């Protein structure tokens, strides 16, 4: 019941969050589009795991410690924890903005609500920190502001979790696909060298490529955001997704450029006597 009430409350914000998100997305996409190595660094392409999800644990832990230390009457330690939390929050925000620059649809609107709440929480924490730094005779106000900021932070974290768990943003699109080693018929038309050809291996849609006598295939659904690789391009031995520009090595499916942090399922292809092809997943 409570979860449904929260969901309705979040959904009611999409009226303002959608147009705001579209404007912010255009700006961030343009910025990170000129700094692809930075975007991939912040996204976690090098790590094989979304970096934002890792970094958010640090400020949440620090801000939880602030409340505990304030209650225990340890003002210096509480203030140090607050500074650490603010700095960690800024770092997590940078990683979040990199993810946001390649987020689409409803997930973008909800991510906008998440980001707005995070900014509000950060402002409250900064005000609390400024008051604390002034050495007030009473710490009641900055402590109260920290508690309110924490509640806003918790709400923002709830929305952020909703973006991932309910809408599947930045989730590996192939997490539940088994590998297997069984050869299956590959349904495909003429395979032209240097072009992507759409085919199917059982129920799985694939894109097929030829390089001389070698034929390989990748799953058609991009691991990053679920876009179709068919219609993409072949660049430096990689297939580039037309949706966000992720690149996957043709022969292995390994990620070579973000924003994806996941590899792409790859298939080995062989000719069969009498004509036609068979394929099996190799990664």
What are 104-147's pLDDT values in tens digits?
Answer: 999 999 999 999 999 999 999 999 999 999 999 999 999 999 99
Predicted pLDDT of residue 180: 67
At residue 207, the pLDDT reads: 96
Tokens of 170: 């930045």
Phi then psi for 270, rounded to 5 degrees?
-140, 155
| Mean pLDDT, range 50-64, rounded to an integer | 96
Q: What is the mean pLDDT of residues 196-201?
A: 93
∠ Cα 115 224 95 (to 5°): 35
Is the pLDDT score of 220 beyond 90? Answer: yes
Q: pTM of the prediction?
A: 0.90
Please give the residue that has the higher pLDDT: either 181 or 90: 90
Q: Are 148 and 239 in contact (CB under 8 A)?
A: no
pLDDT of residue 190: 87
For residue 178, pLDDT over 90 is answered with no
pLDDT (mean) for 77-87: 98
Does the pLDDT value for residue 16 go beyond 90? yes
So what's the pLDDT on residue 5?
A: 84
Does residue 256 contact residue 249 with C-beta atoms inside 8 Å?
A: yes
Non-local (6+) Cβ contacts of 131 within 8 A are 141, 142, 145
**Mean pLDDT on 243-250:** 95
List, for residues 144-160, the tens digit of each pLDDT value.
999 999 999 999 999 99
pLDDT value of residue 31 = 96
At residue 192 the predicted structure's pLDDT band, cuts being 50, 70 and 90, is confident
Q: Is the pLDDT of residue 1 over 90?
A: no
Instruction: Tell me the pairing of strands 266-271 and 277-281.
Output: antiparallel
- pLDDT of residue 189 exceeding 90, the answer is no
pLDDT, residue 46, reads 95
Say what the pLDDT of residue 179 is.
Answer: 66
């Amino acid at each position: 019941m409570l979860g449904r009430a929260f969901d309705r409350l979040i959904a009611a914000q999409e009226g303002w969050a959608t147009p705001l998100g579209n404007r912010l997305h255009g700006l961030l996409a343009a910025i990170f589009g000129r700094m692809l190595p930075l975007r991939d660094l912040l996204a976690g392409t090098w790590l094989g795991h979304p970096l934002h999800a890792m970094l958010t644990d640090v400020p949440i832990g620090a801000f939880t410690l602030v409340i505990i230390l304030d209650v225990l009457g340890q003002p210096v330690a509480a203030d140090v924890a607050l500074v650490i939390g603010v700095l960690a929050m800024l770092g997590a925000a940078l990683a979040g903005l990199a993810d946001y620059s390649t987020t689409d649809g409803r997930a973008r609107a909800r991510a906008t609500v998440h980001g707005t709440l995070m900014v509000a929480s950060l402002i409250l924490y900064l005000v609390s920190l400024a008051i604390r730094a002034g050495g007030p005779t009473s710490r009641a106000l900055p402590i109260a502001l920290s508690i309110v900021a924490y509640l806003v932070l918790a709400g923002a974290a709830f929305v952020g979790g909703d973006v991932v768990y309910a809408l599947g943003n930045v989730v590996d699109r192939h997490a539940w696909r088994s590998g297997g080693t069984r050869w299956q018929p590959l349904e495909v038309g003429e395979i032209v060298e240097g072009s992507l050809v759409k085919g199917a291996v059982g129920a799985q849609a694939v894109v097929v490529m030829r390089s001389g006598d070698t034929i390989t295939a990748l799953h058609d659904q991009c691991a990053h955001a679920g876009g179709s690789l068919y219609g993409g391009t072949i660049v430096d031995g990689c297939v580039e997704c037309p949706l966000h520009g992720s690149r996957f090595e043709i022969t292995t499916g390994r990620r070579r450029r973000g924003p994806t942090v996941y590899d792409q399922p790859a298939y080995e292809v062989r000719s069969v006597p009498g004509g036609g092809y068979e394929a099996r997943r190799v990664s």
